[in-house]
Structure 1
Amino acid sequence: MSRLNLAQSMWAQGIELTGGDRGLVAIVAVVALAALAIGYVLLREVLAAGQGTQKMQEIAKAVQEGAAAYLNRQFRTLGIFVVIVFALLFALPAEDWSERLGRSLFFIVGALFSAAIGYLGMWLSTRANVRVAAAANEGEGGREKAARVAFRTGGVVGMMTVGLGLFGAAIVVLAYAGAAPKVLEGFGFGAALLAMFMRVGGGIFTKAADVGADLVGKVEQNIPEDDPRNAATIADNVGDNVGDCAGMAADLFESYAVTLVAALILGTAAFGTQGLLFPLIVPAIGVVTAIIGVYITRTKPGESGLTAINRSFYISAIISAVLCTIAAFVYLPGTFAGLTGLAPERAAAEGSPAMIAAVAVIIGIVLAGVILWLTGYFTGTDYRPVKDVGKTSLTGAATVVLSGISVGFESAVYTALVIGAAVYGAFVLSGSTIVALFAIALAGCGLLTTVGVIVAMDTFGPVSDNAQGIAEMSGDVEGEGAKILTELDAVGNTTKAITKGIAIATAVLAATALFGSYKDAIDKALGGVAQGLGLSGSYEIIQPNLLVGLVIGAAVVFMFSGLAVNAVTRAAGAIVFEVRRQFRDNPGIMDGTTKPEYGKVVDICTRDSLRELATPGLLAVLAPIAVGFGLGVGPLAGYLAGAIATGTLMAVFLANSGGAWDNAKKLVEDGNHGGKGSDAHAATVIGDTVGDPFKDTAGPAINPLIKVMNLVSVLIAPAIVTLSIGESASPGVRAVIAVVAVLVIVGAVLVSKRRPTSIADDKASEDAASTTA
């Protein structure tokens, strides 16, 4: 047996679950099923609400059909990727065929769960929007009822997110015991890959429609945002659902799954059997607190909806912290000697596993609360940053754009420091690197105990936005009902920004934990042969090749963001030309005698968003393959570090600058600085238009991007080692793999860059000809 094979045979830790252990996992599975049951109860409650007038229902029906058509086409497109990745995963090394098959099969399960969560988010939100509009129009008590329907719509998706994520992980642990972490790599990868595609595709769709509608409707025709005369309004409402509801739901689900994967991998190495099971207990507690959080969210008369939502979040977070602390001290021993499944030298380590776990989870929960406040400060209409951006509208669009960029840059620094402090705080809980990395993963699990409420907060935003759109398009909601919907829409803008901030924090914690999982995978693959082969220093930051990897990782984040924003630019250009054409060719649209062709705009958004999926997807999957096989495991570690650091700053900058521009526009529309129709309003519309692809396309897509790249690295690590050392070393094969990956990336980017702006080029020629004539 070669030294490499001998090292690989040492991977298996021989963890076997006792009857009591299996009983605990079964209880966790039952809790997950209970979350699904509660979700169904909430769903029935939402669907039981009234649907308003016939005209409101007709508009809602158009949005439902457009959203369903888009996601159905998207899933058919993504099915090709799923089949290809399934085959590639099966080809990667594993302990035995059952582990290899399980990893590949659960990749499909993770992808299906992510798709199901996204589809449910879209399906229900397109039915809840009209019900929220109808509730707001019911007179006394309408405000409270509308807010409850909107929040409980999100509660359904939140319960399904935590339920499916926890149930999938529990089933894998029951079936595979000690080998569960390797199988769960496939589960997490499937969830992350689908979420990234849904985030990118949905983000392009929604912002292409939104930008096109704003530029032609608000700026050129001077008509309201959701005026039925604008052909892009239906597409805009469809986009809210496929982007914000479906995309964010899938994003938070994969954060949930990926964090569990990292925690189980590192927990098994750090705490043995208890480390495999405790990460399941924490999110199970999160299910209980999510149920509490959803049911206690009630808006009191005269109280801001945001105040009620924030109160529920903090209450559920405190309950999670208390229950998780109790669970840590009840389930985990006070010394490492009390853990089972550890090697003797590991069992002799100093420290208290119970204390480490409890503090780590609390750090994650506190981080969620701090991020909620910090993001709310930089994007909320009640605070100075957004007010300052609003004031700059008096001097034009350029100063609005500059001030929003400034807010994004500044907020990124504070958010990154807070996240960094949480990561470092968890890391210093133990002198052992593997235990410290497990503590970071547990901090991520702690943060995600609030994920049920987070999803509810996020879905609240697009549902409220759609409700206002339906009300405005139908003309059947006036007076107090219209004011209620405007207020809920403003609250929804802030909750969306807050949940984006928390999603970024979860992404960073998950990616950092996966970074540790990558190191664990390399160490296990190398075993005792690393020192003799001179590979022990491959993680030292002073090595130039590692710095090269770091720069490449940072560059990929910039390239990915540029591709996403450019995709929105191309698609939005097509929408602008189409909406202009309809206004020009059908004069009756403006006086209300002719109905716009909504379906054409929906078709353009669908086609353009789907054709843009391949390039960012290939970049995310193939870039770490190119670096890993081309430069080695050390530079790939640097690549991941660069991607995580740059991705954190970029995601916060894009999300918060976009959120500040959006709410600055709301400030002006509420009557400040001249109100609607003023030059200041036009300036903030331009700022909001620039910010749309920032906050709803490129920014959110970075979250799954960094996790996809980390998971790809964890999955390919054994193969890189196999082809690098020992009898199986094959530099030629490594080079071929790296070159092929680079060529595919370059080809995809070139095709994307040369792609015309859909039908825009032809339409530009038509416009020029018309002007000449």
Structure 2
Amino acid sequence: MTIFQQLTMANLFLEQALPLSLVAGLIGLVAAWGLIQWIRSQPDGNDRMREVAAAIQEGAAAYLNRQLQAVSGIALLLFVAICYFKNLPTGIGFLVGAACSLIAGFAGMRIAVMANVRTAQAATLGRTPALRNAFNGGAVTGLLVVALALLSIGAFYLVASKYLGLRAAIDSLTGLALGASLVSVFARLGGGIYTKAADVGADLVGKIESKLEEDDPRNPATIADNVGDNVGDCAGMAADVFETYAVSLIGCVLVAYLTVLGGDGKPEPAALTYPFIVGGVSILSAILGILTVNFGKGNPTRLLSLGVLVSALASAAALWPLTQIFFPNGLCHDGQIASTIGIYLASLVGLLMTFVVLLITNYYTSTHYSPVRNIAKASETGHATNIIAGLAIGSHATALPVGFIGIAILLSYHFAGLYGIAIAVMAMLSMAGIVISLDAFGPITDNAGGIAVMSGMPKSIRERTDELDAVGNTMKAVTKGYAIASAGLASLVLFGTYVQELKVHFAALGTAMPSLEFSLTEP
């Protein structure tokens, strides 16, 4: 193949990069649909198990319907306000973002409450079948989050840029981010409050007042407790990460538009579409990681970690040739040059940050390591020492993640400036497909244990579900660390784009830009 032919193929790929990323999003939806059909085909136990599961499903549906009513009313008012004060395209983007976020979280939660009884039944066959059922139920949520986020933003950007122009399309994307944020607030805060209220209420009336065990069928609050697990850790986390993913991807596009300019002074098309390709590649990598967990055997924690590792390695391997195609000569960002390898290394920083946060959080929350064991030992002498030990270790646990986030910011900025930070954040959030699968795995195993107790299954079954529940609790904590770290990095990108917007604004006015100082005391 001649050099001319290679350049022609590369240019053709660049022109079709955004549609190809949308194809990857569609593949993610197809994979999620396939997992849903697989879950439906699994046995759902005896009549008593189905009765308990139906009560949990009914409670989840009641919560979802009530929250949908609240969100819809406020969303309609905001849509009218956005259309009046801004424009119709931004209002449409707002509705698209809110709708896709709702679908990702609520559909994932419905599948989770379907998978719980099947996980309990699979536990009669062994730990591995139960693990597979629970993980596949969680994987539906993970795939829906990344696929719908990429599809909604990519399709809206593609259509809006064609009919409105590039700048108007990017401005309209802010409405989509606002829609995702609205749902995130309701799902995360509302779901979190419901979860804790149900959990603490069930413990007070069951364990404290009536001296009943966890998930005892005589405790009327048990069903609400099991519903709450799904509300907070499935629908809530999904909406949270969907919002962060959407904001980060939109921030990447905006940073590229403002800082990565070609020789003609116009935004570099490759820099605008590269974040979409990062997202598309990672959806395919997440599917590979999900398959790894499904065909593996052994320790649950190691198997789930292997799925994340395979997904990250596949993304890293695929991004290098793609980065060479997109940026064969590097890029010019804000007047400085970033090399091809520098852009690729910025994406690697994001992938590595995912692993660093997961490993640190796992160390501080897993039952296999000293922090949790020290808290358990402190509990032997009473409530006071338990609280003291928990607060001390919790405070200590924040030091390493904050330090590594700072290092990641410095490294990615060194490699490719503000665009490098944006790419690092996008690479980190592109792992959401497999990471959210781990998070939704937690409430499914928790519910499976509750169903096992309430339906009178043998103690050996509860022991298997308890083992998976312990892993699920660790995974929920791990994914919370991931969500917080990625949101922190995403906020830095937004601050950066704000500063760049001000530079463009004052340059257009022909005046010097005043000095900026971001302060919590004087916002």
Same fold (TM over 0.5): yes
How far apart in 1 are the matches of 2:140 and 2:92? 27
Cα offsets for 1:444-472 (capped at 9, x unmatched): 11112211111110010000000000111
SS at match of 1:315: helix
Q: What is the identity, as a one-letter code, of the residue corresponding to 1:189?
A: L
188-197 or 33-42, larger mean C-alpha shift: 188-197
Maintained 8 Å contact 2:14/2:326 = no
1:204 to 193, 199, 213: 193
Map 1:152-551 to 2 at 5 A. 152-177=136-161, 178-179=166-167, 180-271=169-260, 272-298=268-294, 303-336=298-331, 349-352=336-339, 354-430=340-416, 436-475=417-456, 477-529=457-509, 531=511, 535-537=513-515, 539=516, 541=517, 546-547=518-519, 550-551=520-521
How far apart in 2 are the matches of 1:299 and 1:480? 24
Deviation at 1:68, TM superposition (A): 0.6
How far apart in 2 are the matches of 1:130 and 1:171? 37
Residue 115 in 1 paired to residue 102 in 2?
yes
How far apart in 1 are the matches of 2:124 and 2:108? 24
How far apart in 2 are the matches of 1:277 and 1:198? 30
Cα offsets for 1:340-370 (capped at 9, x unmatched): xx9xxx6x74332x22321111000000001
What is the number of residues matched between the two proteins?
Answer: 501
Cα offsets for 1:406-427 (capped at 9, x unmatched): 1111111221111121112112
How far apart in 1 are the matches of 2:449 and 2:116? 8
Maintained 8 Å contact 2:445/2:468 = yes
Map 1:506-655 to 2 at 5 A. 506-529=486-509, 531=511, 535-537=513-515, 539=516, 541=517, 546-547=518-519, 550-551=520-521, 639=523
Cα offsets for 1:398-444 (capped at 9, x unmatched): 111111111111111221111121112112224xxxxx222111111
Maintained 8 Å contact 1:334/1:355 = no
Maintained 8 Å contact 2:259/2:500 = no
Deviation at 1:269, TM superposition (A): 2.1
Calculate the TM-score normalised by the size of structure 1: 0.63
Maintained 8 Å contact 1:121/1:241 = no
Deviation at 1:333, TM superposition (A): 2.7
How far apart in 1 are the matches of 2:143 and 2:338? 36
SS at match of 2:415: coil
SS at match of 1:350: strand
2:116 to 118, 129, 132: 129
Calculate the TM-score normalised by the size of structure 2: 0.92
Consecutive unaligned residues of structure 2, counting only runs of 5 or more, are 1-10, 261-267
Deviation at 1:22, TM superposition (A): 4.8
SS at match of 1:464: helix
Deviation at 1:206, TM superposition (A): 1.1
Maintained 8 Å contact 1:181/1:265 = yes
Residue 147 in 1 paired to residue 131 in 2?
yes
How far apart in 1 are the matches of 2:156 and 2:502? 23
Deviation at 1:181, TM superposition (A): 2.2
SS at match of 2:398: helix
Structure 1 vs Structure 2: percent identity of aligned residues?
37
Residues 67 and 103 of structure 1, relative CA distance in 2, 3 Å threshold = same
How far apart in 1 are the matches of 2:337 and 2:501? 24
How far apart in 2 are the matches of 1:454 and 1:224? 31
Residues 66 and 276 of structure 1, relative CA distance in 2, 3 Å threshold = same
Q: What is the identity, as a one-letter code, of the residue corresponding to 2:247?
A: V
SS at match of 1:429: helix
Residue 48 in 1 paired to residue 41 in 2?
yes
How far apart in 2 are the matches of 1:215 and 1:199? 24
Maintained 8 Å contact 2:365/2:474 = yes
Maintained 8 Å contact 1:154/1:455 = yes
1:57 corresponds to which residue? 50
Deviation at 1:528, TM superposition (A): 4.0
Deviation at 1:298, TM superposition (A): 3.9
Deviation at 1:129, TM superposition (A): 0.4
Cα offsets for 1:301-354 (capped at 9, x unmatched): 5x32111000111121111112112211122132437xxxx9xxx6x74332x2
SS at match of 1:63: helix
How far apart in 2 are the matches of 1:336 and 1:264? 15
Maintained 8 Å contact 1:530/1:536 = no
Maintained 8 Å contact 1:154/1:456 = yes
Q: What is the identity, as a one-letter code, of the residue corresponding to 1:125?
A: A
Maintained 8 Å contact 2:146/2:432 = yes
Maintained 8 Å contact 1:155/1:455 = yes
Residues 189 and 79 of structure 1, relative CA distance in 2, 3 Å threshold = same
Deviation at 1:299, TM superposition (A): 7.4
Deviation at 1:19, TM superposition (A): 7.7
Deviation at 1:536, TM superposition (A): 1.4
Maintained 8 Å contact 2:56/2:224 = yes
Q: What is the identity, as a one-letter code, of the residue corresponding to 1:483?
A: E
Residue 78 in 1 paired to residue 65 in 2?
no
Deviation at 1:84, TM superposition (A): 2.3
Deviation at 1:20, TM superposition (A): 6.1
Map 1:692-703 to 2 at 5 A. none
SS at match of 1:463: helix
Cα offsets for 1:238-266 (capped at 9, x unmatched): 11111111111111211211110111110
Q: What is the identity, as a one-letter code, of the residue corresponding to 1:407?
A: I
Cα offsets for 1:702-737 (capped at 9, x unmatched): xxxxxxxxxxxxxxxxxxxxxxxxxxxxxxxxxxxx
Q: What is the identity, as a one-letter code, of the residue corresponding to 2:288?
A: I
SS at match of 1:442: helix
How far apart in 2 are the matches of 1:310 and 1:20? 33
How far apart in 2 are the matches of 1:106 and 1:163? 17
Q: What is the identity, as a one-letter code, of the residue corresponding to 1:105?
A: I
Maintained 8 Å contact 2:112/2:440 = yes
Q: What is the identity, as a one-letter code, of the residue corresponding to 2:432?
A: V
How far apart in 1 are the matches of 2:356 and 2:111? 30
Cα offsets for 1:617-664 (capped at 9, x unmatched): xxxxxxxxxxxxxxxxxx5xxx4xxxxxxxxxxxxxxxxxxxxxxxxx
55-64 or 84-93, larger mean C-alpha shift: 84-93
Deviation at 1:218, TM superposition (A): 1.3
How far apart in 2 are the matches of 1:500 and 1:86? 31
Maintained 8 Å contact 1:317/1:449 = no
RMSD: 1.8
Consecutive unaligned residues of structure 1, counting only runs of 5 or more, are 1-17, 94-99, 431-435, 552-634, 640-773
